[in-house]
Structure 1
Amino acid sequence: MSVFGNHAMFLLFSIGVLLGMSTCFVSVTNSVFVGIYFGNRASVFLSILSTAGPTGAVIFPFLINICIEQYGWRGCLLIFSGVYFNIIPCGMYLWFCQKKAQNTATNNAVQLPENINTPKRLFDTSVFRNLLFTVFLFAMSSITGYINLIMASLPMYLVFNGFNLSMSALGYSIMSIVSIPPRIIMGIILRLTGWPFVYFYIVLSISVALMIFIMMGITGFTSLIFCCVMLGLLYGCPIGLYSLVVLEFIGSQKYSSAMGISETTNGIMIICQGLISGVLVNLSGSYQLSFYSFGAISICTNLVMAASLAREYIKRKQFDFRLFSKK
């Protein structure tokens, strides 16, 4: 549809609204399908799936520039519409795999969890009864919105510090590239050790905010590129693998509802942080106030998440101790 657009408002609707909604459907469906289909092996495959985002962030801008130079922006949109149409056969293949897996014996190569049936209710609000999941929503949405804010503002922030556009693009590309290996490595570690990912999530989320704080006080080219590398190594796991925490807290039966709620919360937080950040940048004339404010919020919410986990751990230990005392 966008190929025939002749006004910015038309593109805002076709690309911003329609493409945005469809991309959300595909993203959530992929995460839910992989989490349920692979069961206790989901950590590895979700980590591989999460590398698609940064990989596309590196490859697609390069391809888009080539297509625009050769065929113009209308031809570029037409070509990429053909690329997006591959979602249809891929979706049909996933549907076939799901049906086949449900009908196979339990000794199949791909083992499905026992409670694979999704909730019959379209919007299962019972997930909010899980206190840890509710607290995690605030911690996760704050750091996800913060990371998206940083990624959207990073090129302009680098330009503001004396970089030209090509160097700013280089910094963004480096950050995207180096964020890929940690996701796969983390998935392998979780698979081999069985450790809960939520502990890694909290540490890495706080580290992202602290890295931004350090970055605010640096102006040199080499130092800022180094900060982009470190930021890429840190942010990949929290923003790419948070679905693992949702799966750990909720389980496979209500995983689809929990992921839908999580993505909706993320979207709301990204919109709010983006709008507030724009106001703060206009008022202060710099990015520092915005980055410091939302970074502090992210640290606080993740500390609350850590305190909630500690509280649950203490309660569980006390319960085990009482049972042992009775015996």
Structure 2
Amino acid sequence: IVTGPRTPAWKGLNKPHRQDRRWATAWSPEQISHRLHVDFPDDGSMRISHEAIYQALFIEGRGALKRELVTCLRTGRALRTPRARSQNKPQGHVTADVVLSERPAEAADRAVPGHWEGDLIIGTGRSAIGTLVERSSRSTLLVHLPRLEGWGERTPAKKGPSLGGYGAIAMNAALTTSMTQMPEQLRKTLTWDRGKELSGHAQFALDTGTKVFFADPHSPWQRPTNENTNGLLRQYFPKGTDLSRWSSTDLEAVAMAINNRPRKILGWRTPAEVFEEQLRSLQQPGVATTG
């Protein structure tokens, strides 16, 4: 018998594989269940399913395993993921027709205005601010996402609307309000990450005429303008702060500061100046605009 490494004190963290663990002849409940058929082939009383073993262990530990049991499990997982949660695919709203490869080619070279990138910057207490950046001019819009009525006062209903301010319904309403302020020619597409806050993108596209596309998983470089702008915005909205305390007027002031900051990529012009040029080009005789 080899004792193995000397393990540090267990701190209750659910990541035991990141450090040395106690060596043990740990069998999984499924291995135990099937081994009983081999060791006791004629004894029908020596039968138990692996799920029954799991249930007995976790019920005794009130949903989580006790420390000494965690070290015995082969995987070392102290918590179980409910089956319904594992089946809830976080990217089920992304279908084949809205992946990034389907986005028009004109959005990639930035020569034609009207193609936007979007994301959320997250604060504490499920607070967030939506950010929209136009790829050609780098003009920025900040979307106000206030918490809904009842936040912190009642328990959210299961499968009900999120009260944090950036659920699918609230997100659609806020984005629609922001995007419809733009002329129709300047709201052609919107590229978003795969967050479920925009799972109602089909309705958003109908309401605004803006086609939504989703970047590939874990690929922030596919929305470079938005990622860069979010870094600039952290000067005003640091991580670990409550973003819900800022009003829509405050967000407009920050957006104005960002849009009037000279950019090297624009030849030291400001996004506001470039955006104004785009608007003037759309307002030429014979070109209809809305908003």
TM-score (norm 2): 0.32
- Report which structure shows greater RCO (CA 8 Å, sep ≥6): 1
TM-score (norm 1): 0.29
Select the structure of larger CA radius of gyration.
Answer: 2
Structure number with the higher strand fraction is 2
